[in-house]
Structure 1
Amino acid sequence: MLKTILFDLDGTLLDTAADFTRVLNGMLAEHNLPARQYSEVRTQVSNGARAVVELGFGITPEHPDFQARLEAFLDRYADNLADETSLFEGMDTVLAEIEQRGQQWGIVTNKPSRFTLPLLEQIGLAERCAVAICPDHVTHRKPHAEPILLACSQLNSAVSEGIYIGDHLRDIESGRNAGMATIACRYGYIAEDENIEDWQADHIVDSAQDLGTLLTRLSA
């Protein structure tokens, strides 16, 4: 019985890459550095803000300017969380179908609550989302099992009653570590050299529409 459906956030449920790209390029322009293409930034979003800053400025976290630029990036992003962010095409239908079946859905993300919770409010998902687990809610972030196990505990749901959906290897590893079935999303923020088949997810989908079809079948 599929009772609980858990999503990764960036690159799985929400398409946030345009806002990351806009904030980064605004900063790069102020430093007289060339803008980065959306396609470049997109592949780094699931790796977090550090990876985006490293891509844009071409510096590693050991660089003396890195921390200041990271903090500036995060502050700007916090002020403009949802200017261009939206659900992936077809995802609202997926969520509506989940709710119509009486299942609960939630989010397990490595995006800090400072950004996740206001973003869900601005996108209009806060009241619909049954749980949102962020790295500051746990001791160990994904790919550790703890975030998924905490979500299940808060939802009073057994791991065997759930499935976890993500667009990064660590999502699949986290699900596997928790003993939960997994779905890998080929439409997400995946690097060109990444082979999603190697992740050994239980299922792979190419679009939100495919995800909806799969979840309907698994819920029958």
Structure 2
Amino acid sequence: MSRGRIWAVLPAAGVGRRMGGPVPKQYLSLAGRPVIARTLDRLLAVPGVAGAVVALSPEDDHWDAVGYRHDKPVQRVPGGAERCDSVLSALRWLCEQGAGREYALVHDAVRPCVTLEEVQRLIATAADDQGGLLGFPVRDTLKRDDGAGHVAGTTDRDGLWHALTPQLFPVAALAQALERAVEAGLTVTDDASAMEAAGVRPRLVTGEATNIKITRPTDLALAEAILQAQQH
């Protein structure tokens, strides 16, 4: 296994419309601290992570108020209209710093409950040219909607996984894959899908169901309960 330095990449230029509030969801208070600060704490606590690159909207006036500080470097770069644009901005900055052959650990800024153990498991398993992502097998029965609110059919869940983050890939390879996917007009819902379109077969590494993404108001209370449970 060839392993270089690893950089956490957080696309955080979104406004979180589903939360319905004036403050982007990454800045909402979670157990007394902004969500994004708790997420960065988790990632930067990983021994193999050298620092973080945070892609924020150019109009973001919340980040400076957070005043986030860490012993490891945290770099702000301009984000874009879509998630992939923000990730690309961070990757291009890393390439400019000579880190193209190192690794990007791309993680949703609103997944603050990720554990040290699952990130280390991902790094130990997927720090190579194929890369990989955290996920867990689908356990529930899946129904397909007919577009009118009725069931069109039941989908076989065998072999299906919930895709989580972080997702780990070589910096330059991921940047190239994302650029090609965007140019081709592909819908890029996560970084692994861009690598898949480039012919790569990323590894699926088992993560935890507690690694939730905060998208709706009720998720904040759930995330706080998870954080409390993780402390015991």
Q: TM-score range by the shorter chain?
A: 0.3 to 0.5
Q: TM-score scaled to structure 2, two decimals? A: 0.37
* The structure with more strand, counted as a fraction of residues: 2
Q: TM-score scaled to structure 1, two decimals? A: 0.38
* The structure with more helix, counted as a fraction of residues: 1
